[in-house]
Amino acid sequence: MGPSNALPPEAPRPPADLNPRTDPPLDFRDKPLAEMTPGDWDALGFMCGLEVHQQLRTRTKLFCRCPAGVYVDHHDAEVLRHMRPTLSELGEYDGCALMEFKTRKEIIYLLERETVCTYEMDDTPPFEIDREAVEIAYLVAAMFRLQLVPELHVMRKQYLDGSIPTGFQRTAMVGLSGEIPFRDPTLGIDRPLRIRQLSLEEDSCREVSDVGHRIVFRTDRLGMPLIETVTEPELVTPWEVRQAGRLLARVARATGRVRRGPGAARQDVNVSVAGGRRVEIKGVDNHRRLPQLVHTEAFRQLNLLRLRAEMQARGLTRDVFAIPTDGPAWEVSPLVIDATSALRRSVYEPVRRALEQDHTIVAVLLRGCAGLLSRPTQPGISFAHELQGRVRVIACLTGHPFMIHSDVADYGLAAARWRHLRSALRAGRDDAIVVLWGPARDVSTAAREVLARMAEALDGVPAETRQAFADGTNGFERILPGPDRMYPDTDTPPLAVPPELLPDPRALPEAPWERERRWIDAGLDPLVAARLAASDWADLFDALAPRRPETARRLAAALEKRVPYWRRRGALGRYELPAADRLAPLVAALDAGTLRPDAFEALADRAVLDPDADPAALAVPPEPAPEIATEISRAIRTVIELAPRRKRRDREALARWALGIAMRRLRGLADPRDVAARIAAGLAGEA
């Protein structure tokens, strides 16, 4: 026989989401975020990337002509759906899709006739893609300096969590491989931020409730155009993550064609440490939350790697947790027993309630795992919570609680009950036991998930998507989707993007870094310019157009203090800004030198807080009046009389204190230099 032409079998490739460093620092001392240094993050092998989802400001949705941006709290009809996974082009199922199928969710969609049509319910094919959305997506991609894709190819991305009725999201690649300047003087950052890709896709439904096997969605947001911008995983501290998120948002907003407000922009963060793998934390809606979230996740992964090392030291293997996939768990494996009869006389209230509801109680044996369930993973959270989170999502158990374990002495059950369970499971001193209760079918799923999660612990960090909590911790949401979830959309032909939809490189909006440079050239300190660029009143600053450097500095400082104050007072909404014409006369007077700088903030307060105030009249310096002179004299006399009562006898310190008190009453009425001179004279006994 001649030589075979068959290729040798390809060696299995490691998962693409593994951290390139394989040396987890298991002896690293856990530290609070504030104590961590850049060197500490390097020692951890910390890597992070961002996926930013930003809604576009279009008139209609992406693949139909329903209005975009209309939110309702009522509905005209309900639709019930169940989701099933489909094979990818390679004949494989996506792991995330299989996980969602296990939940056996009943999905309810609340429809409002003005915001949805038959396309959203997958009863008609997609309309032609919205040209306005394509134009905006390409504009933002050009702002990110990406290589623009000349032809749009729509793909389907499986979503079996129910948030999209079709079971998939339509998405199209717009740009690839770009970079933008990434600078922050306070963090010492001065390098490019590499952008991997930008896609145009349709938004999902809004979740109303998720209880047990029933999940309810509103469909008003469904199908709205959004872009997904993905960075390379090159952010190496939590502070860089926050600043990168802010920069991406500022670039998109610079176009003036993206939506603002709650839910309009959402960040997903991808985190890994040395020896770990990528974990995605979804739906972070505020950049301020990012540092604590990724710090907590980094140490959660380190704790999971420590757990793996301990399990390996104990000689545990995946076979210890193996269980057949078919049949009730307690009938097919000695690792699970039906403990309903054994706990019939338990006085533990959650167990008693389960028995009253005719629920099933099972006990699961975890060989060699004593002490592992109580090991910490996040602040105030143990590894048992990792099991509990997985079970709650996949088995849909809703009891509070629905699980206890033997690593906490006499947890829930009397010692005699635990001894009985140990005897029934033939458990030794080195073994742990988990007790679960709920509907029989759900409890069987739960027992299998507990064993599956223990087996995954031998791999260290499982690839998961997790949800962010307000306290900086996170919880299991689903298995991280893989490449098998993507396949071409056969309903949408490729679109060669016409020239009129492509941005003119010479007419792009001003980029944030260009804007900062302009402000610095106009007289702002680089740190002030950076803070202004990150604010939502930067456009207001530009609209007021201060001409003199002194005016620019005064205006930037005033807006930073007064805009939050005006919002707290209720004069402005959470994201609202005052009309530029309310402040423009005051800024012009500052530029002309006819308005004292110290009076600007007080007069700006009146212009914004009092809708009846005339800004033009406020900008005219008042004629000295006897009552103003009397008020000045009274304020100065009061603080001079109070000054000797202060414990500090240093005349300069007393003078500074007295000036501060006096100017609270006199701001806008008197020149601080004149007041300071009269106070100094009074304190010296010369007044």
Domain membership of residue 542 (yes or no) is yes
Is residue 608 domain-shared with residue 658, that is, in the same domain? Answer: no
Q: 389: domain CATH number? A: 3.30.1360.30
Distance CA 526, CA 184 (A): 9
Domain membership of residue 331 (yes or no) is yes
CA 644 remoteness from chain centre? 53
- In this prediction the pTM is 0.83
* Residue 221: closest CA among 84, 131, 110: 110
Is residue 565 domain-shared with residue 421, that is, in the same domain? Answer: no
Q: Omega into 350 within 30° of 0, i.e. cis?
A: no
Q: End of a domain among 613, 638, 660?
A: 613
* Residue 233: closest CA among 50, 52, 483: 50
Number of helical H runs and strand E runs in the chain: 20, 23
Q: End of a domain among 265, 285, 311?
A: 311
Is residue 381 domain-shared with residue 433, that is, in the same domain? Answer: yes
Token pair listed for 41: 């993050």
Distance CA 467, CA 475 (A): 5
Give residue 661's pLDDT: 63
* Number of folded domains that form the chain: 4
413 within 8 A of 346, measured Cβ to Cβ: yes
Is residue 144 domain-shared with residue 290, that is, in the same domain? Answer: yes
Residues whose CB falls within 8 Å of the CB of residue 316, separated by 6 or more in sequence, listed in order? 367, 368, 369, 458
Task: Report the chain's C-alpha Rg in angstroms.
Answer: 32
Give residue 618's pLDDT: 84
Class of residue 202 by CB neighbours under 10 A (exposed 0-12, middle 13-18, buried 19+): buried
604 within 8 A of 583, measured Cβ to Cβ: yes
Is residue 296 domain-shared with residue 193, that is, in the same domain? Answer: yes
Is residue 307 domain-shared with residue 325, that is, in the same domain? Answer: no
Give residue 185's pLDDT: 80
CB atoms closer than 10 angstroms to residue 102: 14
Distance CA 141, CA 173 (A): 10
**Where would I find the beta strands (DSSP E) of 126-224?**
147-148, 151-152, 154-158, 168-184, 189-202, 206-211, 214-218
Give residue 643's pLDDT: 61
Is residue 265 domain-shared with residue 147, that is, in the same domain? Answer: yes
Domain membership of residue 155 (yes or no) is yes
Domain membership of residue 148 (yes or no) is yes
Distance CA 62, CA 33 (A): 41
Domain membership of residue 500 (yes or no) is no
Q: Whose structure tokens read 């403990």?
A: 339
CA 480 remoteness from chain centre? 17
Domain membership of residue 199 (yes or no) is yes
Token pair listed for 429: 């001193």
Longest dimension (CA), the chain: 118
Is residue 190 domain-shared with residue 209, that is, in the same domain? Answer: yes
H-assigned helices in 263-382: 290-313, 329-332, 349-356
278 within 8 A of 463, measured Cβ to Cβ: yes
Domain membership of residue 469 (yes or no) is no
Give residue 619's pLDDT: 83
> Per 3-state DSSP, what percentage of the chain is helix, strand, and coil (rounded to 5)?
40, 20, 40
Is residue 93 domain-shared with residue 184, that is, in the same domain? Answer: yes
Long-range contacts of 493-501 (CB under 8 A, 24+ apart): 494/151, 494/152, 494/153, 495/129, 495/134, 495/151, 495/152, 496/150, 496/151, 497/134, 497/138, 497/148, 497/149, 497/150, 497/151, 497/152, 501/131, 501/134, 501/135, 501/138
* Residue 198: closest CA among 225, 216, 219: 225
Give residue 262's pLDDT: 82
The single-letter DSSP state of residue 672 is H
Domain membership of residue 351 (yes or no) is yes
Class of residue 315 by CB neighbours under 10 A (exposed 0-12, middle 13-18, buried 19+): exposed
10-residue mean pLDDT profile of the chain (687 residues): values are 44 67 92 95 96 96 94 92 73 72 87 93 92 97 96 90 89 96 87 96 93 92 96 96 94 91 90 95 91 97 97 96 92 95 93 95 97 96 95 90 92 92 95 96 95 96 93 91 78 93 91 92 90 87 91 93 93 88 92 84 90 87 57 64 60 66 60 69 59
Give residue 11's pLDDT: 44
Is residue 346 domain-shared with residue 297, that is, in the same domain? Answer: no
Give residue 644's pLDDT: 63
Q: End of a domain among 442, 457, 472?
A: 457
Query: Which residues span the domain enclosing 42?
Result: 33-311
Give residue 48's pLDDT: 97
Is residue 604 domain-shared with residue 630, that is, in the same domain? Answer: no
Is residue 356 domain-shared with residue 284, that is, in the same domain? Answer: no
- What are the distances in angstroms from CA 302 to CA 68, 305, 368? 43, 5, 21
